[in-house]
Structure 1
Amino acid sequence: MADQYEEGIKAALQNRDLAKAAEMAQKYLDKSYNVRVNIGITGESGSGKSTLVNALRGIKNKTEGAAKTGVKETTTERTEYPHPKNNNIRIWDLPGIGTVKFTADKYIKEMEFEKYDFFIIVSNDRFRENDAKLAKEIQKMNKKFYFVRSKIDQNITSEKEEDPNTKEEKVLKEVKNYCTEELKKLDFESPKIFLVSGFRLPLYEFNDLWKTLEEDLPKHQRDVLLLALPNISLDVIEQKKETLASRIKWLTVTSVAGAAVLVPGFSCAVDIQIILGFAVYCVVSLGLTHNLLQKLSDVSGVSLEDLKAEIKSPLAGTEITKDLIIKFLASSATVLGEMAIEEGLRFVPIIGTLVAMSLSGVATYSVLTYILNSLTEDAQQVFKRSVG
């Protein structure tokens, strides 16, 4: 998708048509912001589906907006949950097939399996015949599915209560081998199984699940899902930084086009709106809004005050307004000036000589890069504090 737009922008710049270049850059950004992802979470009754739905959304069980959880099956019909970071991501909590009165193929039709981009099949024990039937039906549709063995933290705790010398690695290996053997009996030769705790996603194998999704999903869906994902590791935060950084060049093109309009103050107004929008997008993607920090506090058990103590950027943990952006730019003028000189010497390759001459473009590129770097550092520190 990006290559098509890059070629169009280069052609427009060669013709000195900045308005056309800006239009194409904005179209690309609009498309990248509006990619839809539908995730189906299914499995037997009581397997931990709803807890996983909540974990993927960064929400603690039994809090506002959380999927209902309990010892009994609480999902009797499919329920759609929007992701709090991105309304275009929908996570569907599907009833366990063992709780409905129709066969696997009818279940597939009733649950509208064709609408989901991929599936996570959850079990808190071993994967059974119903799980295998669902997986095989999904295979027929040429869609991806992943087996998640949930509540692995409970297994480790239980084993250590019996024998305090039990090694965590030993428990994980035994559970993985057991699940693999059971699925082999159900005709899955090399199943992908991930051991997960819905209460502590950074632990165990959720990061491995994400790496697998990275390989399997189309790039545009992968990027959208990545930016909505809870910060499960420092590597994921770094990936978010790279993805956000890739959007800076597109925003810079729109900044340069604004500078070409010969109306006093117009270019400055455009740049402030670009910076404001990007700062908000970064803060949300990196989990640094007040509400997202509160959710992280709920999930991790670390107080909101302790998490906020790790933050240095004035743009994190607060409402970002136009006035705040102006104040931020004024206080960071020296650093940004030095960055602008450096970036002017090695400007974004897509833009070329014509646009590189624009002071507006260089300055905007420098500001956006500075904001992203400082917010990424905050996200890293907050993550370290949240996992203790």
Structure 2
Amino acid sequence: MDSSFEIISDEEVQDIRAALEEGDLCTATERLSESLRDIENAPLNIAITGESGTGKSTFVNAIRGMDDEEEGSAKTGVVETTGKPTPYNHPQYPNVTVWDLPGIGTPNFAADSYLQSVDFSRYDFFIILSSERFKKNDIDLAKAVQAMNKKFYFVRSKVDSDLHASQVRRKKTFNEENVLNEIRNNCIQSLRDGDITEPQVFLLSFLELDKFDFHIMQDTLEKELPEHKRHIFLISLPNISLPVLEKKRQAFKKDIWKLSLLSGGVAAVPIPGLSVACDIGILVKAMINYKNAFGLDEKSLEKLADKFGKDVNELKSVIKSPLVIKEINKELVTTLLKSGVTGGLMIVEYAASNIPMLGSMAAGGISFGTTYWMLSGFLKEIAEDANRVLMKALESPV
């Protein structure tokens, strides 16, 4: 099967194919629709824990693409600011919740009863933070999490502060790579001493999340999360680097096939006007989602400009797609659909000869091809614009 179909499970493909072979287009369409809803609404609960003072609240904000002073951000401070498990929803994806857990070993959360106190069963995985060597509380927590068949990841925080301190102390011999290796090896050794086998430690700076090991951690989580959780995790990541933007493009690219199949299935159902209404609804929703996920909506652009001390119009100046700067609504998509017939027909011809499972869906009209053609083109344009905007934001003043 084409790798573009990875997001559709084998069971789904079999169900859809069976329904099409029996001529039951309604069932096939509904199956696709249910699958899309499952992916879109999949809950993801991330637990951030560790000892007091390790930067948990700052990380909760950073992983959601928020500043510490922004409305809805987790409260930060030099002392323990979290008195109970506190949920923080992602600003764009409310089904993604990052939990700021109290520091383990604090008076109200003793290590031996910590997991029960914070209701461990609700979380998909744990990120255990330390701003120095991992200690007995961290190791005991990791073992308890592992015993309950949950994933955990070690993050060594505040490495930017360690690098700065080392540079001050070692003016002549400072070497960033050597210092990072020292920190990593020290953490790994402390975990091995606590009988954690093959520990992996990610070095992060929450103030500069795109540096150090963030991309390695992102890749690890992507591989180990279930497919439906992986998708929402990827698209909810803050737009901090070109690799993150590329991950999002790939995640959305897989979705286009399913959206197109849904559109084609509806087109094959003989109800006047249903196909056009479905096409417009699918396209509007998907295009708005792409625009928001890549941070090209007005609010996100203003926030990015403020973060890097740029004028928002300076960032907008590198946007080339005329669709990105327009309001995406039914009227705009209707106009685009009128000019998209040729491209749609080309995709239908390709689909009919290369995707046997499409069958009656392709025969039902040009909806499959039009949806695929338009969303593929828009995704390509918006991803390229997002790259240009980020590069412009990172550009040093002349």
The TM-score with structure 1 as length reference comes to 0.91
Is the CA contact (8 Å cut-off) linking 2:25 and 2:269 kept in structure 1? no
Shift in CA distance, 306/128, structure 1 to aligned 2, threshold 3 Å: farther
Quote the residue 1:113 is aligned against: 120
1:213 equivalenced with 2:221 (yes/no): yes
After TM superposition, give the deviation of residue 328 of structure 1 in Å.
4.9
Q: Which residue of 2 aligns with 1:228?
A: 236
- The alpha carbon displacement at 1:263 in A equals 5.7
List aligned pairs for 1:275-290, cutoff 5 A.
275-290=283-298
Match of 1:11 in 2: 18
Contact persistence 2:63–2:237 (CA under 8 A): yes
What is the CA–CA distance in structure 2 between the aligned matches of 1:196 and 1:127, rounded to whole Å? 15
Shift of 1:150: 0.9
Q: 1:209 to 1:300 in 2, by over 3 A?
A: farther
Q: What aligned pairs does 1:336-375 form with structure 2 within 5 A after superposition?
A: 336=340, 339-347=343-351, 349=355, 351-357=357-363, 358-375=365-382
Name the CA distance, whole Å, in 2 between partners of 1:350 and 1:310.
41
Aligned to 2:5: none
**Quick one: which amino acid aligns to residue 185 of structure 1?**
D
Q: How many residues align?
A: 384
Whether contact under 8 Å (2:305, 2:393) holds in the other structure is yes
SS in 1 for 2:46: strand
Q: CA deviation at 1:58?
A: 0.3
Q: Secondary structure at the match of 1:362?
A: helix
Task: For 1:291-370, list aligned pairs within 5 A.
Answer: 291-316=299-324, 319-328=327-336, 333=339, 336=340, 339-347=343-351, 349=355, 351-357=357-363, 358-370=365-377
Structure 1 residue 310 displacement after superposition: 2.8
Q: CA RMSD in A?
A: 2.3
User: Where does residue 242 of structure 1 map in the other structure?
Assistant: 250
Residue aligning to 1:27: 34
Shift of 1:338: 5.6
Q: What SS is found at the alignment partner of 2:238?
A: coil
* Bigger mean CA deviation after superposition, 259-268 or 16-25: 259-268
Whether the 8 Å CA contact 1:58–1:296 is kept in 2: the answer is no
1:386 deviates by 3.6
Q: Letter of the aligned partner of 1:355 in structure 2?
A: M
User: Would the aligned equivalents of 1:241 and 1:372 in 2 still touch at CA under 8 Å?
Assistant: yes
Which residue number corresponds to residue 45 of structure 2?
A: 38
Residue pair 2:268, 2:360 contacting (<8 A) in 1 also: no
Which residue does 1:383 correspond to in 2? 390
Matched, 1:196 2:204: yes
Aligned to 2:134: 127
Instruction: Pick the aligned partner of 1:180 from 180, 184, 188.
Output: 188
Mapped partners of 1:16, 1:115: distance in 2: 42
TM score, norm. by length of structure 2? 0.89
Q: Check if 1:157 corresponds to 2:164.
A: yes
Give 1:337 shift.
Answer: 5.3
Deviating more after overlay: 367-376 vs 11-20: 11-20
Aligned counterparts of 1:261 and 1:211: Cα–Cα separation in 2: 41
1:134 CA drift (Å) = 1.2
Aligned counterpart, 1:55:
62
Aligned in 2, Cα 1:312/1:260: closer, same or farther, shift over 3 Å? same
- Between 152-161 and 139-148, report the one with greater CA deviation: 152-161
Instruction: Please state how far the C-alpha of 1:151 moved relative to its aligned partner.
Output: 1.4
Q: Verify the 8 A CA contact 2:163 2:176 in the aligned structure 1.
A: yes
Moved more, 165-174 or 209-218: 165-174
Is the counterpart of residue 142 in structure 1 residue 140 in structure 2?
no
Distance 1:372 1:269 in 2: 21
Residue by residue over 1:65-90, the C-alpha shift from the partner in whole angstroms, topping out at 9 and shown as x without a partner, is 11011111111211100111211111
Q: Does 121-130 or 98-107 show the bigger shift?
A: 98-107
Tell me, yes or no, if the aligned pair for 1:45 and 1:95 is still in contact at 8 Å: yes
Q: d(CA) in 1 for partners of 2:309 and 2:106?
A: 34
Alignment partner of 1:256 is 2:264: yes
Distance 1:278 1:224 in 2: 14
Structure 1 gap ranges (5+) = none
- Partners of 1:193 and 1:350 in 2: CA distance: 46
Partner-residue secondary structure (3-state), 2:72:
coil
**1:63 maps to amino acid:** E
**Inter-CA distance 264–221: structure 2 relative to 1 (3 Å threshold):** closer
Shift of 1:376: 1.3
Of 357-366 and 64-73, the range deviating more from structure 2: 357-366
Preserved CA contact (<8 Å) 1:223 1:243: yes
**2:94 maps to 1:94:** no
* CA deviation after TM superposition for structure 1 residue 346, in Å: 2.1
Deviation string 1:215-248 (CA, Å, 9 cap, x unpaired) is 2211111111111111344333222222212222
Instruction: State whether residues 62 and 69 of structure 1, in contact with CA within 8 Å, keep that contact through their aligned partners in structure 2.
Output: no
- Structure 2 residue identity aligned to 1:352: L
Q: Distance in 2 between matches of 1:9 and 1:101?
A: 52
Q: What do the CA deviations read for 1:258-285 (whole angstroms, capped 9, x no partner)?
A: 4345565443222111110110121222
Q: Retained in 1: the 8 A contact 2:157–2:206? A: yes
Contact 2:82 2:102 in 1 (8 A): yes
> What are the Cα deviations for residues 28-59 of structure 1, in whole angstroms up to 9, with x where unaligned?
10111111111110011111111110011000
